[in-house]
Amino acid sequence: MDFLQNIIGILSEHGLAFLQASWMTISITIISLLFAMIIGIIFAGFKISSIKFLNRVADLYIGIIRGTPLIVQIMFLYYGIANILTLNSFTAGALALSIHTGAYIAEIFRGAVQSIDRGQMEAARSLGMSYPLAMRRIIFPQALKRAIPPLGNQFIISLKDSSLVAYIAVTDLYNTALTVQGENYMPFETYFVVGLYYLIIVLIFTWFFNRLEKKLDVSKPKGAAIA
Amino acid sequence: MINVRNLSKSFGGLQVLKNIDLDVKNSEVVVLIGASGSGKSTLLRCLNFLETAEAGEITIGDEKINPATTNLNKMREKVGMVFQHFNLFPHMTVLENIIEAPVHVKKMGRDQATTLAVELLKKVGLHDKAHFYPDQLSGGQKQRVAIARALAMQPKVMLFDEPTSALDPELVGEVLQVMKDLALDGMTMVIVTHEMGFAREVASRVVMLADGHIIEEGRPEEIFANPKHERTQRFLNQIL
Ligand SMILES: Nc1ncnc2c1ncn2[C@@H]1O[C@H](COP(=O)(O)OP(=O)(O)OP(=O)(O)O)[C@@H](O)[C@H]1O
Ligand SMILES: [Mg+2]
């Protein structure tokens, strides 16, 4: 019973702070995901490109990101950039998360584009479509649809990964938990509460992505005719 | 309409086409036959430059095509292609599949393209399927849509690569019928097929490929009745 009372105590005392921190977590995740999408599209293009140099650049970037821990990347950027220009911790954290997630999203987009049957490009070209037009009208729409489940998955990973920006003083959910448990000496209950917040956010976004996926599944409508 | 001179094509070390000469006149229907791996698809794909030959000349209409300088996209507007596996765009309805290239390549107005598409769908017997997605059609229906899609660009030549090979036997007839109608309309066609009955009935000329060479060609009744080349005999015995 103590446990439950402590939880309720934490919630009534810090519930609002956790809610605000949730917003911080969600916004740093969404902002870095938007930039990561742009980075991802560019580097997916580099990987698909027939220009060897661009392939190499993409391989180098993706290799470095995948080969080093996120916390190291965050620290490296935070202190590295601090030598040149002063970024606040939110910007530095968002930047690190963007660059990190961009590498994974590049791989998601590359995989999705390459999973589209070659016949689609050939049919488009045989109709007189240029390569960019065929990409835009025929390949991308199909690839995007195929990328949504792994993107949803990446979103959830990024949301949880964002907890590492607590170490450069972004007041996100995890950072708030660190502070609260330092004050109340109830780490067990505090981490339980913060876990609950993460879980609820993840469940909301999972639900959202499932709906999006269903909505975009146009090629397999239910029932026969939609004429 | 099509003139091919000395066409050669290799994949890596494998030479698939060896000094091919082929002429297709206006309104001619040429059927390409030959064993698997003899280079039929490769020859067809060279004609619209989905594959680039390393040597030889191809003239379409009265334009000699040089892949380095010719606008291949413009050229492909004149050469329609139908594939074994249909390759319809699954994210678009039948109607959208057909108007896609007229609208985005030819810059035809959407209304005009739709009128054209409906006309073509009637021609292939599918005007009631305009708003279906490819997944909701049978194989034979898909292939007829693919033919309508190619025709929507109003090509001068149509290339068919085994258009009925992926179909259940009972669906082959409806696709061949559409192709027969096209031939009667005077469309110039180059067709890779194993449907010898169709070839006998519709082809102006049958061309036999073996190991990247054209080893024999002639009117269908000649080739089928007394093939001159021993490999043609063997091939025809196998498939008839
Ligand atoms: N993109 C490619 N890369 C490498 N080899 C290829 C490629 N396309 C075709 N080939 C080879 O070229 C040869 C001729 O192939 P092609 O597809 O033209 O034969 P085909 O006569 O159409 O045979 P099928 O009746 O099986 O369709 C085959 O040996 C094939 O393996
Ligand atoms: Mg073939």
Task: Please provide the average confidence, as pLDDT, over all residues in chain A.
Answer: 91
Sign of CA dihedral A150, A151, A154, A155: negative
pLDDT tens-digit map of B17-28: 999 999 999 999
Residue percentage of chain B with pLDDT more than 70: 100
What's residue A222's pLDDT? Answer: 44
Q: Whole-angstrom Cα distance, residue A177 to residue B38? A: 70
pLDDT tens-digit map of A164-194: 999 998 999 999 999 999 999 999 999 999 9
Q: Hey, are the CB atoms on A126 and B134 less than 8 Å from each other?
A: no
- Does residue B85 contact residue A119 with C-beta atoms inside 8 Å? yes
Q: Mapping DSSP to helix (H, G, I), strand (E, B) and coil, where does residue A83 land?
A: coil
Best residue among B16, B192, B195 to mutate for probing ligand 1, ranked by most atoms within 8 Å of CB: B16
ipTM of the complex: 0.94
At residue B75, does pLDDT exceed 90?
A: yes
Q: State the average pLDDT over residues A145-163.
A: 94
Q: Whole-angstrom Cα distance, residue A58 to residue A87? A: 26
At residue A81, does pLDDT exceed 90?
A: no
At residue B99, does pLDDT exceed 90?
A: yes
Distance B119 CA to ligand 2 centre (A): 31
Q: Does B107 touch chain A (CB under 8 A)?
A: no
How confident is residue A218, by pLDDT bands cut at 50, 70 and 90? low
Mean pLDDT lowest among A212-226, B25-39, B67-81? A212-226
Q: Whole-angstrom Cα distance, residue B7 to residue A119? A: 24
How confident is residue A225, by pLDDT bands cut at 50, 70 and 90? very low
Identity of the residue numbered A14: H
What's residue B236's pLDDT? Answer: 92
How confident is residue A220, by pLDDT bands cut at 50, 70 and 90? low
| A137 Cα to chain B: minimum distance (Å) | 9
Sign of CA dihedral B237, B211, A120, B67: negative
How confident is residue A88, by pLDDT bands cut at 50, 70 and 90? confident
Q: State the average pLDDT over residues A61-78.
A: 95
What's residue B233's pLDDT? Answer: 92
What's residue B57's pLDDT? Answer: 93
Q: Whole-angstrom Cα distance, residue A128 to residue A114? A: 21
Identity of the residue numbered A184: N
What's residue A113's pLDDT? Answer: 96
CA torsion A202→A206→A212→A216, rounded to 10°? 140
Between B67 and A125, the higher pLDDT residue: A125
Which of ligand 1's atoms lies nearest the C-alpha of B84?
27
Residue B113 CB burial class (10 angstroms; 0-12, 13-18, ≥19):
buried
The full DSSP string for B46-85 is: HHTTSS--SEEEEEETTEEE-TTTS-HHHHHHTEEEE-TT
Distance B39 CA to ligand 1 centre (A): 6
How confident is residue A2, by pLDDT bands cut at 50, 70 and 90? confident
Q: Hey, are the CB atoms on B74 and A145 less than 8 Å from each other?
A: no
Mean pLDDT lowest among A41-45, A80-84, A142-146, B9-13? A80-84
B10's tokens? 């290799």
Strand (E) or helix (H) holding B34: strand B29-34
How confident is residue B240, by pLDDT bands cut at 50, 70 and 90? confident
Task: Please provide the average confidence, as pLDDT, over all residues in chain B.
Answer: 95
Half-sphere exposure of A95 (CA within 13 A, CB side): 17
What's residue B231's pLDDT? Answer: 93
Phi first, then psi, for residue B43 (nearest 5°) are -60, -45
Which residues in chain B are contacts of A124 at CB distance < 8 A?
89
Q: State the average pLDDT over residues B103-118.
A: 97
Between A83 and A95, the higher pLDDT residue: A95
pTM of the predicted model as reported, rounded to 2 decimal places: 0.87
- Does residue B139 contact residue B168 with C-beta atoms inside 8 Å? yes
A222's tokens? 């239910």
Residue nearest to atom 4 of ligand 1 (CA): B11
What's residue A43's pLDDT? Answer: 97
pLDDT tens-digit map of B114-132: 999 999 999 999 999 999 9
Q: State the average pLDDT over residues A217-221.
A: 57
Q: Whole-angstrom Cα distance, residue B53 to residue B66? A: 11
Q: Does B50 touch chain A (CB under 8 A)?
A: yes
> Which stretches of A83-138 are DSSP H helices?
89-114, 118-126, 131-134
Query: What single-letter DSSP state applies at residue B19?
Result: E
pLDDT tens-digit map of A107-121: 999 999 999 999 999
> How far from chain centre, in Å, is Cα B236?
21
At residue A85, does pLDDT exceed 80?
A: no
Q: Whole-angstrom Cα distance, residue B240 to residue B230? A: 15
Q: Mapping DSSP to helix (H, G, I), strand (E, B) and coil, where does residue A222 land?
A: coil
Q: Hey, are the CB atoms on B101 and A128 less than 8 Å from each other?
A: yes
Q: State the average pLDDT over residues B102-119.
A: 97
Q: Is B34 in the pocket of ligand 1 (CB under 6 A)?
A: yes
Q: Whole-angstrom Cα distance, residue A123 to residue B149? A: 10
pLDDT tens-digit map of B185-232: 999 999 999 999 999 999 999 999 999 999 999 999 999 998 999 999
At residue A226, does pLDDT exceed 70?
A: no
- Does residue B80 contact residue B61 with C-beta atoms inside 8 Å? no
The full DSSP string for B170-220 is: HHHHHHHHHHHHHHHTT-EEEEE---HHHHHHH-SEEEEEETTEEEEEE-H
- Does residue A97 contact residue A161 with C-beta atoms inside 8 Å? yes
